[in-house]
Structure 1
Amino acid sequence: MKKASLKALKITLPLALGVFLIYISYSQFTRDQIDEIKSNLADADYNWILLGLALAFLSHLSRAWRWNYMLKAIGHKPSFLTNVTAIGTGYAMNLIIPRSGEVARAVVVNRIDQVPVDKAIGTIIAERVLDFFILLLITATALILSGNVIIDFFMERLNSAFAKADSSKLIIYGIIAGVSIALLVLLLRYLKPFQKIKSFIAGLKDGFKTIWTMQQKWLYLLHTVFIWLMYLLMFYVCIFAIPGTALMPVSAILSAFVAGSFAVAFTNGGFGAYPYLIAQVLLLFNVSGTLGTSFGWILWLSQTALVLVYGLVSFIMLSVKNSR
């Protein structure tokens, strides 16, 4: 009963957040502005979107190829096609339950090529850590290129919040927060969750260490660079789909890319959060809300369509393979 409730929450809460962000986004627009967004979606040049999807699919194929370098390092080598279908299945599962795709990938290679699930998950976690590091580098680059645009925005909000706050209350809240965190850390040290966290971190270290000790580490890293280059190019070529976004500066493109990347973690495949956060970031670079929202939705809808088709084909291929 408890597990069923947790599963339901994992699905419904991100969906509810997505719906809420869609409501927040569209409640600020007039009827004419909503019609403008619809017009942007209808009149977009989808040849650029198709090119972007082709680049995105190349990144998926590269990810499948890259995975075998690490699996080989732990004594297993599934076929390239198995990896392709496993990754397609994982992406499709993430649309239903956020972060469930990693387990789905591991289960697929286990059933087809008998790769132990725990070892497969370890390799996936290691690649996620490396991918997150690359995303942080892109984030830092976006902040540097954007100058003071983003930093000034957050500083303005912080200064405004502190100006309205009572300093004595802030001190009290700070003390309460510090004591609460200290007590929580002390409690966790003697509870099972803390031991699980420790073992999880140890697994991350072992998985990440494998990247640097494997024989084909440079090919692995080369594929990592290629994957993120395809992501960036996919995002970049799509700015030409709508005339109003074609002249965006590189700083705006990178900042929107980072916002979209983090949005995927909040909701089911970025539902609601992806177009909303991209539009909010582009507002800082003087791109209108209607234009930014149109751009965000075109990107999200096209990428989601690719994941659905890719996932469906992967499910069919797995079903045929299992039946044989």
Structure 2
Amino acid sequence: MKLNLKQWVQVALSMIVAIWIFWFLYKDISFESLRKSVSETSFLLLMSSIFVSLIGFWLRAWRWTLLLDAEEPYKTPSIRAFWALMVGYLTNLLVPRAGELARCGVLAKTDGLQMGKLFGTVILERTVDLLFLVFTIFLAFVIERNLFLELFSELVSVEALVEKVTQYLPLLIGGLLVMAIFFYFAFLKYRESNIFKKLRHFTRDLVKGIISIRQVRNQSGFWGSSFAIWMIYYVTLVLVAWAIPSTANLSLSSLLMVMVMGSIGMVAPVQGGIGTFHALVAFILMAYGLSEEEGKIFAVIVHSSQVLTVLILGLVSLGFILKITSKKVSKTF
């Protein structure tokens, strides 16, 4: 994926922010404390968490093929989808949120699929994942309601929030109306131009990808795998928590809250959730009685194990993809 100068500046700034947050969080943590915690960590449970996460990656790739193959005679190989997915995760470590575009580009090259449809299926996937995240947050709220309300009251002033929404809502509505009018007249004027024709074609493929959920032949497989993916996220976190002595006695409900905070941290527009994941996970663990150092060390262990897994699998997958594409290029000569 080629980046222009502006995009490289954005990547650099995002990386600087991520590194600064990480440094600020861990500047007071001694290397000896981290080394001791790692030495006390159960290697068997940590490796078990990585193995479980690999199952989650494969399920995500398989679920993607269910959307790609809806109403299509061609069957996308699950292994190709898996390689594309891991290349996407690898890309996210460099360019935040670019992994979704990267994995679409991989399958577009290897299998000749339409970029618009690929991107549409990714949007649909992310929408489904968002629904499961909202459900997980709601479940955590029901189970850990008292702590949830206590933390919310400490972080957010409800009165100030309502005042800001009331103050800026008319401005937001007016801005959306102006944008809608602008795009409407621009469409009328340039609808026969080549750019708009390409945009309409891409949009048609995009919509086709988004609504592909209705044509999925294996509906139970799609929704079952979606549920399993989020269960695997939770099981992975639980196994790491059990592997570390300082978190081994945390309740399953408290670990659900840790999962929620970690998932929110991963949404932040920084490479691989670096810094934001660690900050939110350490914050919630401190609410459960762990020291600041213990919370931060847990966050760095669970995050590092996943990043190393993605790095290794991403590079291996990239090698397979480059081999496939090079063979296609050589056949054209």
* TM-score bucket of the superposed structures, by smaller chain: 0.7 to 0.9
Which secondary structure state, in structure 2, belongs to the residue aligned with residue 96 of structure 1? coil
Cross-structure match for 2:295: 292
Cross-structure match for 2:139: 141
Cross-structure match for 1:109: 107
Q: Aligned equivalents of 1:148 and 1:106: distance in 2?
A: 42
Cross-structure match for 2:18: 18
Which secondary structure state, in structure 1, belongs to the residue aligned with residue 97 of structure 2? coil
User: What are the residue-to-residue correspondences of 1:88-107 with 2, within 5 Å?
Assistant: 88-107=86-105
User: What are the residue-to-residue correspondences of 1:156-167 with 2, within 5 Å?
Assistant: 156-158=154-156
Q: 1:236 to 1:123 in 2, by over 3 A?
A: same
Cross-structure match for 1:251: 253
CA shift for structure 1 position 74: 4.2
Do structure 1's residue 182 and structure 2's residue 184 form an aligned pair? no
Cross-structure match for 1:236: 238
Cross-structure match for 2:150: 152
The one-letter amino acid paired with 2:243 is A
Which secondary structure state, in structure 2, belongs to the residue aligned with residue 298 of structure 1? helix
Which secondary structure state, in structure 2, belongs to the residue aligned with residue 299 of structure 1? helix
The one-letter amino acid paired with 2:54 is F
CA shift for structure 1 position 72: 1.1
Deviations 1:222-257 (A, max 9, x none): 111222221111111111221110011222211111
The one-letter amino acid paired with 2:14 is P
Contact 1:102/1:124 (<8 A) preserved: yes
Unmatched tracts of structure 1, length 5 or more = none
Unmatched tracts of structure 2, length 5 or more = 188-195, 328-333
Q: Aligned equivalents of 2:238 and 2:112: distance in 1?
A: 39
Contact 2:40/2:245 (<8 A) preserved: no
User: What are the residue-to-residue correspondences of 1:185-264 with 2, within 5 Å?
Assistant: 185-192=176-183, 207-264=209-266
CA shift for structure 1 position 145: 1.2
Q: Aligned equivalents of 1:77 and 1:113: distance in 2?
A: 10
Q: Aligned equivalents of 1:110 and 1:209: distance in 2?
A: 19
- Cα RMSD of the aligned pairs, angstroms, is 2.9
Contact 1:37/1:290 (<8 A) preserved: no
CA shift for structure 1 position 80: 1.8
Contact 2:52/2:232 (<8 A) preserved: yes
Q: Percent identity?
A: 24
Cross-structure match for 1:280: 283
Q: Aligned equivalents of 2:156 and 2:320: distance in 1?
A: 52
TM-score (norm 2): 0.83
User: What are the residue-to-residue correspondences of 1:33-182 with 2, within 5 Å?
Assistant: 35-75=32-72, 76-158=74-156, 177-182=168-173
CA shift for structure 1 position 181: 2.0
Which secondary structure state, in structure 1, belongs to the residue aligned with residue 250 of structure 2? coil
Q: Aligned equivalents of 1:157 and 1:65: distance in 2?
A: 39
CA shift for structure 1 position 264: 1.5
Which secondary structure state, in structure 1, belongs to the residue aligned with residue 69 of structure 2? helix
Q: Aligned equivalents of 1:66 and 1:117: distance in 2?
A: 18
TM-score (norm 1): 0.85
The one-letter amino acid paired with 1:296 is A
Structure 1 runs (4+) deviating above 3 angstroms are 156-159, 173-176, 191-196, 199-209
